[in-house]
């Protein structure tokens, strides 16, 4: 996966998950490639990268350590569920709201 594809995938995934994070900033290719600094709802900051193997944490402010990208997650959703309990809450709320909307649409037919 080239740097442009990595950047596009990371930007799209972060935009789709903006309801469950405070903010993010995508950075160009560096040592670990294309990465983004993500501020979680709890206030912790993590640096997230993407590769052909999936999404991974490069560095976390909550631990102050570099994770070296050893654990890869198939999706950004899985990574955020693992790193942010408040993301999980927002995810459930968004899912419940969407299911309620679908139910209401079905009842109107």
Question: In this structure, what CATH number is given to the domain that contains residue 63?
Answer: 3.30.2280.10
The Cα–Cα gap between 38 and 106 comes to 37
At 3-23, the pLDDT tens digits run 888 889 999 999 999 999 999
Residues 6+ apart with CB under 8 A from 59: 46, 47, 65, 66, 67
Which pLDDT does position 33 carry in this prediction? 74
Could you give the CA distance from residue 15 to residue 73 in angstroms, rounded to a whole number?
Answer: 18
**Domain span including residue 84:** 3-108
What is the percent of the chain with per-residue pLDDT over 90, rounded to a whole number?
66
The structural domain count of the chain equals 1
pLDDT over threshold 70, residue 30: no
The rounded distance, in Å, linking the Cα atoms of 102 and 87 is 22
Determine the Cα–Cα distance for residues 10 and 23; give it in Å rounded to an integer. 14
**pTM, 2 dp:** 0.84
**What is the per-residue pLDDT for 65?**
46
Instruction: Considering only residues 60 and 38, tell me which one the structure prediction assigns the higher pLDDT.
Output: 38
How many residues would you count in the chain?
109
């Amino acid at each position: 996966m080239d740097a442009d594809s990595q950047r596009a995938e990371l930007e799209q995934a972060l935009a789709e998950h903006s309801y469950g994070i405070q903010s993010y900033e995508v950075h160009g290719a560096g040592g670990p490639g294309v990465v983004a600094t993500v501020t979680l709802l709890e206030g912790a900051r993590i640096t997230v990268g993407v590769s052909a193997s999936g999404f991974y944490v490069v560095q976390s402010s909550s631990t102050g350590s570099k994770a070296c990208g050893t654990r890869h997650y198939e999706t950004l959703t899985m990574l955020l569920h693992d790193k942010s309990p408040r993301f999980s809450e927002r995810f459930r709320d968004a899912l419940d709201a969407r299911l309620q909307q679908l139910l209401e649409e079905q009842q109107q037919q």
